[in-house]
C-alpha cells in the first residue's frame, strides 16, 4: 500500500520507518509521518484503515 501511495498528497512530510520483530511473529514495520496538516493525516489514516492497516493520528508532542 505504501508503495502505491499518492506522495503528492503528503506534501513533503518527513518520514521514519522502523522494523521490529516481536517474539513469534514476522517483521513488522512502523512508519511515522510528521509535518502533515490534521485533515491530511486523517485522510491518510482513513485510507490505510480501509486496507485493514492499523493507523492513528497523534498531535505534535503527543
Whether 42 shows a pLDDT value over 60: the answer reads yes
* pLDDT score at 16: 87
The C-alpha torsion from 57 through 7 and 3 to 42, rounded to 10°, is 20
**41 burial via Cβ count (<10 Å: 0-12, 13-18, 19+):** buried
Instruction: Calculate mean pLDDT across residues 43-62.
Output: 88
7-11, 17-21, 24-28, 50-54: the lowest-pLDDT one: 7-11
Grid coordinates representing 58 are: 497523534
Q: Could you give the CA distance from residue 42 to residue 37 in angstroms, rounded to a whole number?
A: 9
The strand ranges marked E within the chain are 14-20, 28-34
- Kindly state the DSSP code that residue 51 receives in the 8-state scheme: T
Whether 9 shows a pLDDT value over 80: the answer reads no
| Global pTM exceeds 0.85 | no
pLDDT category, 4, cuts 50, 70, 90? low
Amino acid at each position: 500500500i505504501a508503495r502505491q501511495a499518492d506522495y503528492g498528497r503528503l506534501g513533503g512530510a518527513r518520514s521514519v520507518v522502523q522494523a521490529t520483530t516481536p517474539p513469534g511473529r514476522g517483521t513488522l514495520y512502523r512508519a511515522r509521518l510528521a509535518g502533515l496538516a490534521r485533515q491530511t493525516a486523517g485522510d491518510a489514516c482513513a485510507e490505510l484503515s480501509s486496507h485493514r492497516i492499523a493507523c492513528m493520528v497523534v498531535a505534535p508532542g503527543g
